[in-house]
Structure 1
Amino acid sequence: MNDTPVQDRRFHARRRAGRLLSAGRQQTVRESLAALAALADGPYPLDEPTDRYGDGIVRTLELRTAALLGKPDAAYFPTGTMAQQAALKTWADTHGPVVAMHPLAHPEQHERRAHQVLSGLRSVPLTGAPRQPAAAELAELDEPYDVLMLELPLRDAGFLLPGWDELEALYALAERQGRPVHLDGARLWESAPHFGRSLPEVCARAGSVYVSCYKSLGGHSGALVAGEAEYVRRLKVWRHRYGGSLWQQWPAALAALAGLDRELPRLPGYVAHAKTVAAALAAAPGARVHPEPPHTHQFQFWLPYPAARLEEAGFRQAEEQGVSLFGGWREPGPHPGLSMTEVTVAADAADWSAEQVTEALDAFLALV
Structure 2
Amino acid sequence: MTVRPLARRAGPRRRMLRMGPWIALPFHLSALVVAVSALVLLVLAGAATLSLGRLGIALPDLPGAVLGDATGKDAFVFDRLRGPRLSVAIATGAAFGLSGALFQSVTRNPLGSPDVIGLGSGAGAGAAIVALFLPDVLPVSVGALLGALVAMGLVYVSTGTGFRSPGRLVVAGIGVAAMSTAITQYVVYAVERDKASSLSAYVNGSLAARSWDDATIIWTVLLCALPLAALLARPLAIGEMGDDLSTGLGARPGRAKTAAVLLSIVLSAGAVSVAGPIAFVSLTAPQVAKRLTRTTGPQLVVSTLLGALLLVAADLAAQQLPLFDDLPVGLYTMAVGGAYLGYLLVREWRRQAA
Q: Same fold (TM over 0.5)?
A: no
| RCO higher in structure (CA 8 A, sep ≥6) | 2
**Higher percent of residues as helix:** 2
More strand as a share of residues = 1
Relative to the length of structure 2, the TM-score reads 0.26
